[in-house]
Chains A and B, each alone.
Chain A
Amino acid sequence: MDALTFSFTAEQAIFAVAGGICAIAAANAVLRHDPLASALSLTIALFALAVLYLSLGAAFLFGVQIAVYAGAIMVLLVFVVMLLGATGGRPPLIARRPRLGLAGPLVALALFALLAAAIVRAPVVAAPTAEPAADHVAALADVLFVKFLFPFEIASVLLLAALIGAVVLAQRRTP
Protein backbone atom coordinates (compact mmCIF):
# COMPACT_ATOMS: atom_id res chain seq x y z
CA MET A 1 0.00 0.00 0.00
CA ASP A 2 1.11 3.51 -0.67
CA ALA A 3 2.29 5.25 2.54
CA LEU A 4 0.36 8.30 1.52
CA THR A 5 -2.98 6.60 1.31
CA PHE A 6 -4.95 7.18 4.41
CA SER A 7 -7.71 4.84 5.15
CA PHE A 8 -11.16 6.30 5.46
CA THR A 9 -13.41 4.50 7.76
CA ALA A 10 -17.03 4.70 6.94
CA GLU A 11 -17.56 6.85 9.92
CA GLN A 12 -14.98 9.33 8.86
CA ALA A 13 -16.55 9.62 5.48
CA ILE A 14 -19.99 10.13 6.88
CA PHE A 15 -18.66 12.68 9.29
CA ALA A 16 -16.99 14.58 6.52
CA VAL A 17 -20.02 14.67 4.28
CA ALA A 18 -22.82 15.03 6.77
CA GLY A 19 -20.81 17.35 8.96
CA GLY A 20 -19.94 19.50 6.04
CA ILE A 21 -23.51 19.73 4.86
CA CYS A 22 -24.61 20.53 8.38
CA ALA A 23 -22.12 23.31 8.83
CA ILE A 24 -22.86 24.91 5.52
CA ALA A 25 -26.62 24.64 5.98
CA ALA A 26 -26.32 26.13 9.47
CA ALA A 27 -24.30 29.05 8.24
CA ASN A 28 -26.81 29.62 5.51
CA ALA A 29 -29.68 29.45 7.94
CA VAL A 30 -28.09 32.10 10.13
CA LEU A 31 -27.12 34.44 7.34
CA ARG A 32 -30.14 34.42 5.10
CA HIS A 33 -32.55 37.32 4.91
CA ASP A 34 -35.68 35.41 4.31
CA PRO A 35 -36.85 33.45 7.35
CA LEU A 36 -38.37 30.84 5.09
CA ALA A 37 -35.03 30.16 3.51
CA SER A 38 -33.49 30.05 6.96
CA ALA A 39 -36.05 27.54 8.12
CA LEU A 40 -35.52 25.29 5.19
CA SER A 41 -31.76 25.49 5.55
CA LEU A 42 -32.08 24.55 9.17
CA THR A 43 -34.17 21.58 8.20
CA ILE A 44 -31.40 20.39 5.96
CA ALA A 45 -28.93 20.82 8.79
CA LEU A 46 -31.19 18.79 11.04
CA PHE A 47 -31.30 16.01 8.55
CA ALA A 48 -27.52 16.00 8.36
CA LEU A 49 -27.37 15.82 12.09
CA ALA A 50 -29.72 12.85 12.12
CA VAL A 51 -27.34 11.03 9.84
CA LEU A 52 -24.51 11.85 12.21
CA TYR A 53 -26.50 10.44 15.07
CA LEU A 54 -26.97 7.24 13.17
CA SER A 55 -23.26 6.93 12.55
CA LEU A 56 -22.68 7.53 16.23
CA GLY A 57 -24.80 4.55 17.11
CA ALA A 58 -27.95 6.43 18.12
CA ALA A 59 -30.46 4.84 15.82
CA PHE A 60 -33.48 5.75 17.92
CA LEU A 61 -32.40 9.32 18.11
CA PHE A 62 -31.95 9.38 14.36
CA GLY A 63 -35.58 8.50 14.03
CA VAL A 64 -36.71 10.94 16.67
CA GLN A 65 -34.70 13.78 15.18
CA ILE A 66 -36.28 13.32 11.79
CA ALA A 67 -39.77 12.72 13.04
CA VAL A 68 -39.98 15.29 15.79
CA TYR A 69 -37.37 17.91 15.14
CA ALA A 70 -37.16 18.12 11.41
CA GLY A 71 -40.67 16.87 11.05
CA ALA A 72 -42.86 18.52 13.65
CA ILE A 73 -40.90 21.45 14.98
CA MET A 74 -39.61 22.74 11.70
CA VAL A 75 -42.99 22.24 10.06
CA LEU A 76 -44.53 24.33 12.78
CA LEU A 77 -41.90 26.97 12.27
CA VAL A 78 -42.40 27.06 8.52
CA PHE A 79 -46.11 27.21 9.07
CA VAL A 80 -45.82 30.29 11.27
CA VAL A 81 -43.36 31.92 8.88
CA MET A 82 -45.88 31.56 6.12
CA LEU A 83 -48.74 32.63 8.39
CA LEU A 84 -46.94 35.83 9.26
CA GLY A 85 -45.72 36.39 5.78
CA ALA A 86 -48.50 38.87 5.22
CA THR A 87 -48.39 40.50 8.62
CA GLY A 88 -44.84 39.89 9.67
CA GLY A 89 -43.11 42.67 7.84
CA ARG A 90 -39.61 42.31 6.52
CA PRO A 91 -37.09 43.41 9.07
CA PRO A 92 -33.52 43.78 7.90
CA LEU A 93 -30.99 41.03 8.35
CA ILE A 94 -28.83 42.88 10.73
CA ALA A 95 -30.90 45.13 12.83
CA ARG A 96 -30.13 48.77 13.25
CA ARG A 97 -30.93 49.35 16.89
CA PRO A 98 -29.24 49.08 19.23
CA ARG A 99 -26.06 49.81 17.41
CA LEU A 100 -24.18 46.78 18.49
CA GLY A 101 -22.13 46.69 15.37
CA LEU A 102 -19.95 43.64 15.18
CA ALA A 103 -20.32 42.92 18.87
CA GLY A 104 -22.43 39.87 18.18
CA PRO A 105 -20.16 38.13 15.73
CA LEU A 106 -17.16 39.01 17.84
CA VAL A 107 -18.61 37.50 20.94
CA ALA A 108 -19.62 34.42 19.01
CA LEU A 109 -16.13 34.15 17.64
CA ALA A 110 -14.72 34.45 21.13
CA LEU A 111 -17.08 31.78 22.24
CA PHE A 112 -15.97 29.43 19.53
CA ALA A 113 -12.35 30.12 20.24
CA LEU A 114 -12.79 29.35 23.90
CA LEU A 115 -14.70 26.21 23.26
CA ALA A 116 -12.22 25.04 20.67
CA ALA A 117 -9.37 25.69 23.00
CA ALA A 118 -11.06 23.74 25.73
CA ILE A 119 -11.84 20.88 23.44
CA VAL A 120 -8.37 20.61 22.03
CA ARG A 121 -6.73 20.70 25.41
CA ALA A 122 -8.99 18.16 26.98
CA PRO A 123 -7.35 14.82 27.78
CA VAL A 124 -8.16 12.11 25.31
CA VAL A 125 -10.56 9.52 26.61
CA ALA A 126 -9.99 5.95 25.60
CA ALA A 127 -12.68 4.52 23.43
CA PRO A 128 -14.84 1.90 25.09
CA THR A 129 -14.10 -1.68 24.50
CA ALA A 130 -17.53 -3.03 25.24
CA GLU A 131 -19.78 -3.86 22.39
CA PRO A 132 -22.87 -1.76 22.04
CA ALA A 133 -25.98 -3.58 23.09
CA ALA A 134 -27.77 -5.66 20.52
CA ASP A 135 -31.21 -4.34 21.22
CA HIS A 136 -30.54 -0.68 21.15
CA VAL A 137 -34.08 0.46 21.84
CA ALA A 138 -34.50 -1.85 24.78
CA ALA A 139 -31.26 -0.64 26.28
CA LEU A 140 -32.30 2.94 25.73
CA ALA A 141 -35.69 2.30 27.28
CA ASP A 142 -33.96 0.74 30.22
CA VAL A 143 -31.99 3.90 30.90
CA LEU A 144 -34.83 6.23 30.07
CA PHE A 145 -37.53 4.71 32.25
CA VAL A 146 -35.36 3.74 35.17
CA LYS A 147 -32.56 6.17 35.61
CA PHE A 148 -34.35 9.11 34.04
CA LEU A 149 -37.86 8.32 35.17
CA PHE A 150 -38.34 11.55 37.06
CA PRO A 151 -37.19 13.80 34.23
CA PHE A 152 -39.43 11.82 31.96
CA GLU A 153 -42.47 12.58 34.05
CA ILE A 154 -41.52 16.21 34.36
CA ALA A 155 -41.05 16.43 30.63
CA SER A 156 -44.60 15.29 30.09
CA VAL A 157 -45.85 17.93 32.48
CA LEU A 158 -43.79 20.47 30.62
CA LEU A 159 -45.31 19.49 27.32
CA LEU A 160 -48.76 19.79 28.78
CA ALA A 161 -47.99 23.26 30.08
CA ALA A 162 -46.56 24.29 26.74
CA LEU A 163 -49.61 22.99 25.00
CA ILE A 164 -51.99 24.97 27.14
CA GLY A 165 -49.77 28.04 27.04
CA ALA A 166 -49.49 28.01 23.30
CA VAL A 167 -53.21 27.71 22.86
CA VAL A 168 -53.92 30.55 25.26
CA LEU A 169 -51.31 32.81 23.73
CA ALA A 170 -52.24 32.23 20.15
CA GLN A 171 -55.92 32.84 20.60
CA ARG A 172 -57.12 35.80 18.71
CA ARG A 173 -58.22 38.23 21.38
CA THR A 174 -61.66 39.57 20.75
CA PRO A 175 -61.39 43.33 21.14
Chain B
Amino acid sequence: MPLAAYELLGALLFALGAMGVVLRANALSMLISVELMLNAVNLTFVAAARQYGQLDGQVISFFVIAVAAAEVGVGLAIVIDVARRHTTVDVDAASELRG
Protein backbone atom coordinates (compact mmCIF):
# COMPACT_ATOMS: atom_id res chain seq x y z
CA MET B 1 0.00 0.00 0.00
CA PRO B 2 1.61 3.26 -0.97
CA LEU B 3 2.14 5.78 1.80
CA ALA B 4 -0.07 8.23 -0.02
CA ALA B 5 -3.14 6.12 0.62
CA TYR B 6 -2.65 6.17 4.36
CA GLU B 7 -1.83 9.82 4.26
CA LEU B 8 -4.98 10.57 2.34
CA LEU B 9 -7.05 8.67 4.84
CA GLY B 10 -5.35 10.59 7.58
CA ALA B 11 -6.07 13.86 5.82
CA LEU B 12 -9.69 12.90 5.45
CA LEU B 13 -10.03 12.06 9.11
CA PHE B 14 -8.25 15.26 10.03
CA ALA B 15 -10.53 17.40 7.90
CA LEU B 16 -13.57 15.63 9.28
CA GLY B 17 -12.40 16.30 12.79
CA ALA B 18 -11.72 19.93 11.98
CA MET B 19 -15.16 20.33 10.56
CA GLY B 20 -16.62 18.74 13.63
CA VAL B 21 -14.77 21.09 15.94
CA VAL B 22 -16.07 24.11 14.13
CA LEU B 23 -19.54 22.83 13.50
CA ARG B 24 -20.64 21.31 16.77
CA ALA B 25 -22.07 23.28 19.62
CA ASN B 26 -21.89 20.54 22.18
CA ALA B 27 -18.67 20.71 24.15
CA LEU B 28 -18.35 16.98 24.36
CA SER B 29 -18.88 16.57 20.66
CA MET B 30 -16.15 19.08 20.07
CA LEU B 31 -13.85 17.10 22.27
CA ILE B 32 -14.64 13.98 20.29
CA SER B 33 -13.80 15.77 17.08
CA VAL B 34 -10.49 16.86 18.51
CA GLU B 35 -9.69 13.27 19.39
CA LEU B 36 -10.46 12.31 15.84
CA MET B 37 -7.94 14.81 14.58
CA LEU B 38 -5.29 13.48 16.93
CA ASN B 39 -5.89 10.01 15.71
CA ALA B 40 -5.60 11.09 12.12
CA VAL B 41 -2.17 12.42 12.93
CA ASN B 42 -1.24 9.20 14.63
CA LEU B 43 -2.15 7.23 11.56
CA THR B 44 0.04 9.39 9.41
CA PHE B 45 2.96 9.00 11.76
CA VAL B 46 2.69 5.24 11.93
CA ALA B 47 2.39 4.91 8.17
CA ALA B 48 5.40 7.12 7.70
CA ALA B 49 7.32 5.09 10.23
CA ARG B 50 6.70 1.99 8.20
CA GLN B 51 7.64 3.73 4.96
CA TYR B 52 10.91 5.14 6.25
CA GLY B 53 11.85 2.01 8.13
CA GLN B 54 12.20 3.80 11.46
CA LEU B 55 10.32 3.31 14.68
CA ASP B 56 10.37 7.02 15.57
CA GLY B 57 6.94 7.59 14.11
CA GLN B 58 5.45 4.97 16.35
CA VAL B 59 7.10 6.42 19.41
CA ILE B 60 5.72 9.81 18.55
CA SER B 61 2.27 8.34 18.19
CA PHE B 62 2.73 6.83 21.58
CA PHE B 63 3.41 10.22 23.03
CA VAL B 64 0.44 11.66 21.24
CA ILE B 65 -1.76 9.11 22.92
CA ALA B 66 -0.29 9.98 26.30
CA VAL B 67 -0.87 13.68 25.77
CA ALA B 68 -4.36 12.98 24.49
CA ALA B 69 -5.11 11.17 27.69
CA ALA B 70 -3.96 14.10 29.75
CA GLU B 71 -5.87 16.49 27.59
CA VAL B 72 -9.09 14.57 27.77
CA GLY B 73 -8.84 14.33 31.51
CA VAL B 74 -8.43 18.03 32.03
CA GLY B 75 -10.82 18.91 29.25
CA LEU B 76 -13.61 16.85 30.69
CA ALA B 77 -13.03 18.35 34.10
CA ILE B 78 -13.47 21.79 32.56
CA VAL B 79 -16.60 20.69 30.73
CA ILE B 80 -18.07 19.42 33.96
CA ASP B 81 -17.30 22.70 35.66
CA VAL B 82 -18.82 24.74 32.85
CA ALA B 83 -21.83 22.48 32.77
CA ARG B 84 -22.36 23.06 36.47
CA ARG B 85 -22.22 26.82 36.06
CA HIS B 86 -24.30 27.21 32.97
CA THR B 87 -26.40 24.04 33.25
CA THR B 88 -25.57 23.43 29.62
CA VAL B 89 -22.64 22.32 27.58
CA ASP B 90 -23.54 24.58 24.72
CA VAL B 91 -20.29 26.38 23.99
CA ASP B 92 -22.12 29.26 22.48
CA ALA B 93 -23.62 30.04 25.86
CA ALA B 94 -20.18 30.41 27.40
CA SER B 95 -19.33 33.55 25.53
CA GLU B 96 -18.36 35.82 28.41
CA LEU B 97 -14.75 36.13 27.32
CA ARG B 98 -15.55 38.80 24.81
CA GLY B 99 -13.37 41.70 23.86
Contact = CB atoms under 8 A, between A and B. Distances in A.
A binds B: yes
Interface of B is mostly: helix
Contacts of B59: 140, 143-144, 147-148
A88 B25 CA distance: 12
A107 B18 contact: yes
A147 B36 contact: no
B29 to A, nearest CB: 5
Contact of A108 (B1, B15, B50): B15
Given A15-B1, A69-B39, A94-B23, A108 B92 contact: no
Contacts of B92: 91, 95-98
Interface string A72-99: 1100110011011001110111111110
Contact of A29 (B32, B49, B66): B32
Given A95-B25, A158-B67, A166-B73, A58 B7 contact: no
Interface of A: 9, 11-12, 15, 19, 22-23, 26-27, 29-32, 35, 38-39, 42, 45-46, 49, 52-53, 56-58, 60-61, 64-65, 68-69, 72-73, 76-77, 80-81, 83-84, 87-89, 91-98, 100, 103-105, 107-109, 111-112, 115-116, 119-120, 122, 124-125, 127-128, 130, 139-140, 143-144, 147-148, 151-152, 155, 158-159, 161-163, 165-170, 172
A39 B32 contact: yes
Which range holds the interface residue count of chain B? Answer: 35 or more
B31 to A, nearest CB: 7
A46 B88 CA distance: 28
